[in-house]
Homo-oligomer: A and B are copies of this chain.
Amino acid sequence: MDETLLMLPGPTNVAPRVLQAIAKNVVNHRSAIFGEIYTEVTKMMSELFKTQNKSYLLTGSGTAAMEASIANIVNKNDKILNVIGGKFGERLRDITLAYDGDAKELNVEWGTTVSPKQIKEALDEDENIKAITVVHNETSTGVAAPIEEIGKVVKDYNALYIVDTVSSLGGDHVDVDKYNIDICFTGSQKCLAAPPGMSAITLSEDAWKVIDSVNSNTYYLDMKKYKKFGAGTPPETPYTPSITLIYGIHEALKMIEEEGIDNRVLRHETAAEATINGAKALGLELFPKKEVSSATVTALKIPEGVSDSDLRGTMRNQYKVELAGGQDHLKGNIFRIGHMGNINYKQLAITFSALGMTLKKLGFDIDAGAGVSAVTKSYL
């Protein structure tokens, strides 16, 4: 058992009761008993998404759900507006291109986010845009997009509104129906705090109308099959699902229900605030502007005079705290502290205690206790 504390933007630390839940024996996935579990878990997912629409569980990573969101609605040369401000925005564009869609990029500088006005301009510019993709929480830069405000713009256009909430659902405000989102998806291993390996997706009536008109190459991720099998007696998945992970997600969703989603979001926001305060007290600089900094992951600049591998290596090897690095052109420039799922003052006290010692050992002229002190005061 590796006792390293994961402070990653996924996978996150899994509660013992969730780990116990997945260690139950498997049942037949073509049986009434599975149908009951599947029905309950997908209903709980729809409640978490805050939608009247049905949800579906996919046995696959968050990227499988990203692909499902595009592959089922794109015919060749269909215009898709991909908002890009980081790696996951790029991934949705890459999937658009993989399915021969005409990807219209709306690029914003990494570390910033898009404004509803920019979205309106892009939609006004081309009336044939079939869908728009927005990453709610751009895990690669620690930036949250204003998905509620964007939703108010998009609802006046025909375009489907696709929102990636892989690293936000369960940790930040997501209200699919209120925000007019047509396709929304998430992963099991982020704010849900279940182990990785499954994703969930929900689709609106408008989305289904488009899906019914598209003949996609995808087979495993063909949502028509998920709809058909999900409406069966008993409700089923088209292919053998990850039954043990469904047990785990079930238990994780029960924990979310018990806590209440508003309490849970507040807990994440508090963790984000404490992280920013702790970092500031150690002389570290936030990568994005504070106003757009994510509730679930904080991106910080690696200070001058230290390498990523020294910083994160010391944290990992000496103090057993695992932080995330930067990705692509941000590699070596930023590091990221995930505060998702089962996060409270305890993990942040450990993390900032370790970070203070690490920076001190690496030669920085700081008060090694200032970060963890600031974290503590944040939680008071």
Which A residues are closer than 8 A to B by beta carbons?
A: 1-2, 4, 6, 8, 10-11, 13-14, 19-20, 22-31, 33, 59-64, 67, 71, 94-95, 98-100, 187, 189, 195-198, 216-222, 238-245, 248, 316, 322, 324
Contact = CB atoms under 8 A, between A and B. Distances in A.
Q: Lowest 10 A-B CB distances belong to which pairs?
A: A197-B242, A23-B23, A61-B239, A63-B239, A195-B244, A217-B217, A196-B240, A19-B23, A98-B219, A11-B26
A197 B243 CA distance: 7
Contact of A220 (B61, B189, B243): B61
Given A195-B242, A219-B63, A11 B24 contact: no
Q: Please give the count of copies of this chain that the complex contains.
A: 2
A240 B245 CA distance: 14
Given A10-B240, A63-B239, A100-B217, A29 B245 contact: no
Contact of A196 (B6, B22, B24, B242): B242
From A67, A196, A248, A322, residue with most partner B Cβ within 10 Å: A196
If over half of A's interface residues share one DSSP class (helix, strand or loop), that class is named, otherwise mixed; here it is loop
B14 A25 contact: yes
B63 A60 contact: no
Given A61-B241, A243-B197, A217 B26 contact: no
A219 B99 CA distance: 9
A197 B245 contact: yes
Given A31-B316, A98-B219, 6 more contacts: A11-B26, A11-B28, A62-B239, A98-B216, A187-B240, A195-B242
